[in-house]
Amino acid sequence: MKLVDDASTYRNPIIDADVPDPDAIRVGDRFYLVASSFHRAPGLPIFASDDLITWERVGFALEGGTPTAWFAQPRHGGGVWAPSIRHHDGLFRVVYPDPDQGVFVVTASDPAGPWTEPHLLLPGLGIIDPCPLWDDDGSAYIVHAWAHSRAGRKNVITVMPVDAALRHPLGPAVDVIDGDLAGGITTLEGPKFYKREGEYWIFAPAGGVSTGWQSVFRAPTPYGPYEHRITLAQGDTPVNGPHQGAWVDDGRGGDWFLHFQDRGVHGRVLHLQPMAWAADGWPMMGEAVSAGAGQPVLRHPSPFGTAQHSRTLALSDDFAGGWPGAQWQWEARPDPHAVVGRGPGLGLRSSPDGGSVRTLPRVLSQSLPGQPCSAQIEVALETSPPGGRAGIAVLGRDYAWAGVRRTDAGVEAVVAVRTRDDRSERVIATIPVAGSRVRVTVDVDAEARVRFTVDAASVDPQFTAVEGDWVGAALSLFAASPHGAPEAIGRFADFTIDVRER
Residues catalogued as catalytic: 21, 189
Give yes or no for a contact between 43 and 290, defined as CB atoms under 8 angstroms apart. no
Give yes or no for a contact between 179 and 186, defined as CB atoms under 8 angstroms apart. yes
CB atoms within 10 A of CB 163: 12
Q: List all residues 6 or more positions away from 155 whose beta carbon is below 8 Å from its beta carbon.
A: 146, 178, 179, 180, 185, 186, 187, 188
**Phi, psi (rounded to 5 degrees) for 250:** -90, 0
152: left (phi over 0), alpha (psi -120 to 50) or beta: left
State the sign of the Cα–Cα–Cα–Cα dihedral 220, 222, 228, 234: positive
Q: List all residues 6 or more positions away from 290 whose beta carbon is below 8 Å from its beta carbon.
A: none
User: Three-state DSSP class for 320?
Assistant: helix
Give yes or no for a contact between 344 and 45, defined as CB atoms under 8 angstroms apart. no
Closest CA to 339 of 496, 489, 493: 489
Q: How far apart are CA 37 and CA 45, in angstroms?
A: 7
Give yes or no for a contact between 495 and 366, defined as CB atoms under 8 angstroms apart. no
3-state secondary structure string across 378-392: EEEEECCCCCCEEEE
Per-residue DSSP letter, 483: T
CB atoms within 10 A of CB 323: 16
Per-residue DSSP letter, 321: G
CB atoms within 10 A of CB 183: 7
Q: How far apart are CA 322 and CA 49, in angstroms?
A: 30
User: Three-state DSSP class for 94?
Assistant: strand
Q: C-alpha angle 252/256/259, rounded to 5°? A: 155
DSSP string for residues in 251-269:
SSS-EEEEEEEE-GGG-EE
Per-residue DSSP letter, 236: T
**Phi, psi (rounded to 5 degrees) for 456:** -100, 0
Give yes or no for a contact between 30 and 46, defined as CB atoms under 8 angstroms apart. no
**Phi, psi (rounded to 5 degrees) for 403:** 170, -140
Q: How far apart are CA 251 and CA 336, in angstroms?
A: 42
Instruction: Write down the number of H helices and E strands in the chain.
Output: 2, 37
